Structure 1
Amino acid sequence: MRNAVERLKFIKPMEPERFDIPPAGAEWSHEIKFDGYRTQVIKDADGIRLYTKSGIDWTAKYGPLAAEAEKLNGENFIVEGETIVLNEKGLSDFHALRSAITRRPQDLYLVAFDLLHLNGHDLRKLALRDRREVLQAMIPAGLRIQFSEALPGSGDAAYHLACKSNLEGIVSKLLDSVYSSGPTSAWRKIKCFDEKVMDIIGVQRERGKPAMVLMADKGRYMGGAFVTFKADKRQALWDRVQGKVGAPPPKGLKKEKAEWLKPGLSGRVRFLKGEEQLRHAMLKDFWEDEDGRG
């Protein structure tokens, strides 16, 4: 007998809050933080629909995934996941995703991580561990919709494995958490960091605001990195900067309130992976190029 169900409505997503370190304890599970578009898949009497994080219907854009969703085991359901495309290394590639959606949607994958509704039943009050167990059983092998497996071991182990594998980070979730729309510390995203040597092309020093250096990588402006050195090293940086102040603003950056620098000053920056511009970036060291350290 078919389950009669009214048209299912998009549910505002539950959103992990950002933390710098993964939580400890066996009550947490840890998944890969995939670099893609949050997606909600709904099936009811009206068929399959796929929605963006903000509730926009993208079923037409995600045509091949909608066809795959028909193969999931359920009369009606709401599944949450992340739409991704993979690069040649098998890693999710956010920058290739937009063109894949428009030019090669058959290359898209959906990594499913939560189940909010199944066969006429609202599952949001069930514990996460139970929702995920049912979800995993719904997904046949060989689809481009795949289950987001938990990483083995502790939060620290999962985080180090993700970063070593050049992934964006992990999402840690309380196994007994219910599903509640909006930001929550019961789900936590912990992103991996990277370090790279770049050119210091400017500085921003405004009273009452943290000092920043402005960075470029092979001529491309990357944004700012905070300066958090102790007093003596900070003064050494400003001394080097003072000798290079006076360059014209780079093209397109005239609106930045900055002192622009002549070439020759480099620095090592720590920043969040998976971003086009520097985010949560910090200057770790600096030198003049003739120092031989660039």
Structure 2
Amino acid sequence: MPDFVAPQLATLVKSPPAEDGWLHELKFDGYRMLCHLARGKVRFWSRNKIDWTSKFPGVAKAIKSVKATNAIIDGEIVMVDSRGRTSFQKLQQSMGKGGEGFIYEVFDLIYLDGFDLTRVPLVDRKRLLKKLIDSAGKTNTLRYSDHHEGNGALFFKQACEYGLEGIISKLADAPYESARSRTWVKVKCSKRQEFVIAGYTPSSKGLPGFGSLILGVYEKGNLVYAGRVGTGFSLKQRAEIGKKLDKIAHPTPAFAVKPKAPGLSEARWTEPKLVAEVEFTEWTSDGSIRHPSFQGFREDKKPEEVRRELPQDSPATIN
């Protein structure tokens, strides 16, 4: 069994594929995790090959119940709100507090008991995965991510109406690719992505920590300005984030070109080490975001991987 398999990543598109042959799944709002089971020992790897096993002891215990000696499972660690919707903010608040309430939503099987499944069609991998998860018996910790076939547009509409993040559509007969591909495509109900934190502005209202975070994305290896976010924080979060920023303070901006946007005259710069997830309404013509709201930190993603996410055409509309 391989020590690590890089995860397959989905391409952001404008709308779900309209043609047949696609499986449509809910998009979860959590941490992507690859689970390795090897003769009773369980390890969880982030997409960047960071060992997160110690963060999810309850999930690791549940994985040991499946009827397999060796396996590599792909899925997402989540927590749900009172309506059963995955909540990234609730997940962040629960990290480091004993590991209660985490759920592993599993959606792919890469390796099983001596067999490399990466060239096996997705629909067959999922069939094997469901059987594997069912073998663990009744559990609230492990969940098989079911799919909907056909009418991706209706499935997406229903997901958005329920307040979910979006859907992921996957080509049913495709192999597993350890890269970003167009056999997996995602459609989001709202604009939301990761940004690099490059500094902050002090609060003019006496708030603890900071007034707003200065955001950036990488383009051709250079960090470029993408706006600021000053909402979505509790007072406690502001104080905690302020301490993190103090530890990575830097005298000069990390941007390739120092931004001249209004409100940055008193900016405090930091090393570009932290990644935040931010929801917003739209991109402006000058490359900044409008009406942003902080959702949480993404410790599972490297700053240099953060790019401006602009949706491509759906596979069904490409000639």
Task: Tell me the TM-score normalized by structure 2.
Answer: 0.61
SS of 1:105 mapped into structure 2? coil
C-alpha change, 1:164 and 1:153, in structure 2 (3 Å) is farther
Report deviation, 1:89: 2.1
Report deviation, 1:46: 6.3
Tell me, in whole angstroms, the C-alpha distance in 1 between the residues paired with 2:56 and 2:229: 37
C-alpha change, 1:157 and 1:62, in structure 2 (3 Å) is same
Pairing 1:166–2:163 present: yes
Does the 8 Å CA contact 2:33/2:77 hold for their aligned counterparts? yes
Report deviation, 1:142: 2.5
* Aligned CA-pair RMSD: 3.2
Tell me, in whole angstroms, the C-alpha distance in 2 between the residues paired with 1:176 and 1:218: 41
Greater Cα offset, 91-100 or 165-174: 91-100
Give the counterpart letter for 1:258 in structure 2: A
Tell me, in whole angstroms, the C-alpha distance in 2 between the residues paired with 1:213 and 1:105: 35
C-alpha change, 1:35 and 1:213, in structure 2 (3 Å) is closer
Tell me, in whole angstroms, the C-alpha distance in 1 between the residues paired with 2:14 and 2:115: 36
Does the 8 Å CA contact 1:8/1:44 hold for their aligned counterparts? no
Write out aligned runs for 1:13-52 (5 A). Answer: 13-45=7-39, 47-52=41-46
C-alpha change, 1:40 and 1:216, in structure 2 (3 Å) is closer
Pairing 1:67–2:46 present: no
Q: Name the count of aligned residue pairs.
A: 219
Write out aligned runs for 1:98-113 (5 A). Answer: 98-113=92-107
Pairing 1:147–2:150 present: no
Residues 177-206 of structure 1: per-residue CA shift (max 9 Å, x gap) = 101101100000110127xxxxxxxxxxxx
Report deviation, 1:214: 7.7
Report deviation, 1:257: 2.4
Tell me, in whole angstroms, the C-alpha distance in 2 between the residues paired with 1:219 and 1:75: 44
Task: Tell me the TM-score normalized by structure 1.
Answer: 0.66
Give the counterpart letter for 1:168 in structure 2: E
Tell me, in whole angstroms, the C-alpha distance in 1 between the residues paired with 2:39 and 2:26: 33
Does the 8 Å CA contact 2:190/2:279 hold for their aligned counterparts? no
Write out aligned runs for 1:80-91 (5 A). Answer: 80-91=74-85
Match of 2:86 in 1: 92
Does the 8 Å CA contact 1:34/1:82 hold for their aligned counterparts? yes
Write out aligned runs for 1:273-288 (5 A). Answer: 276-278=278-280, 280-281=282-283
Residues 59-96 of structure 1: per-residue CA shift (max 9 Å, x gap) = 11111100000111212100000000111221111112
Q: Which runs of 5+ in 1 are unaligned?
A: 1-6, 195-211, 221-254, 261-273, 284-294
Tell me, in whole angstroms, the C-alpha distance in 2 between the residues paired with 1:186 and 1:60: 33
Report deviation, 1:98: 2.2
Does the 8 Å CA contact 1:152/1:158 hold for their aligned counterparts? no
SS of 2:80 mapped into structure 1? coil
Does the 8 Å CA contact 1:15/1:181 hold for their aligned counterparts? yes
Residues 1-47 of structure 1: per-residue CA shift (max 9 Å, x gap) = xxxxxx54110011011101111122001000000000011111361
Does the 8 Å CA contact 2:190/2:281 hold for their aligned counterparts? no
Greater Cα offset, 72-81 or 139-148: 139-148
Match of 1:55 in 2: 49
Write out aligned runs for 1:1-294 (5 A). Answer: 8-45=2-39, 47-140=41-134, 141-143=137-139, 144-151=141-148, 153-193=150-190, 257-259=260-262, 276-278=278-280, 280-281=282-283
Match of 2:301 in 1: none
Report deviation, 1:55: 1.1
Does the 8 Å CA contact 2:25/2:146 hold for their aligned counterparts? yes
Tell me, in whole angstroms, the C-alpha distance in 2 between the residues paired with 1:282 and 1:88: 35
Does the 8 Å CA contact 2:40/2:64 hold for their aligned counterparts? no
C-alpha change, 1:259 and 1:158, in structure 2 (3 Å) is same
SS of 1:21 mapped into structure 2? coil
Tell me, in whole angstroms, the C-alpha distance in 1 between the residues paired with 2:227 and 2:143: 42
Tell me, in whole angstroms, the C-alpha distance in 2 between the residues paired with 1:43 and 1:83: 16
Tell me, in whole angstroms, the C-alpha distance in 2 between the residues paired with 1:170 and 1:76: 30
C-alpha change, 1:219 and 1:92, in structure 2 (3 Å) is closer
